[in-house]
């Protein structure tokens, strides 16, 4: 099953229920080579589901010393597609390294 790293609203149980139809079981993780910034959300559906006007967004630094904490979830391919549908155009999904040496899908600045 694919791994999905989340540092923001996809960790919220209400967002998970709305997006995936279930709450995900995850574990703490750290993605490396990125720093956090913020993006204003204007999509009405995402605003309604998350309840937040600004979401965190990862920006690549290329420095493995940089990192962001979050959670990693095992998801199905169908759930991965649903997470693509949830994320706004400011984000793109890429494979990124975790501190454990694993690779996970993560949403970063487009």
Q: Residue 82 is part of which domain span?
A: 3-109
Q: What is the pLDDT of residues 62-80, one digit of tens each?
A: 898 999 999 999 999 999 9
What distances in angstroms separate CA 108 from CA 17, 22, 23, 75, one per listed residue?
22, 24, 22, 18
Residue 47, phi then psi, degrees to nearest 5: -60, -45
Q: What is the pLDDT of residues 31-68, one digit of tens each?
A: 999 999 999 999 999 999 999 999 999 999 989 899 99
pTM: 0.90
Q: Which residue has the tokens 């999904």?
A: 93
In the chain, the number of structural domains is 1
CA nearest to 56, candidates 43, 72, 75, 69: 69
CATH of the domain at 82: 3.10.490.10
Angle between helices 13-20 and 77-86 (to 10 degrees): 110
For 72, the enclosing helix (H) or strand (E) is strand 67-74
């Amino acid at each position: 099953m694919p791994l999905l790293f989340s540092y923001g609203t996809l960790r919220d149980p209400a967002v998970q229920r709305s997006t995936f139809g279930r709450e995900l079981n995850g574990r703490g993780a750290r993605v490396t080579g990125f720093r956090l910034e913020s993006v204003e959300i204007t999509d009405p559906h995402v605003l309604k589901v998350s309840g937040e006007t600004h979401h965190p967004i990862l920006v690549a630094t290329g420095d493995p010393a940089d990192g962001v904490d979050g959670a990693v979830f095992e998801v199905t391919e169908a759930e991965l597609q649903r997470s693509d549908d949830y994320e706004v155009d400011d984000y793109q999904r890429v494979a990124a390294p975790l501190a454990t040496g694993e690779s996970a899908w993560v949403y970063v600045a487009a």
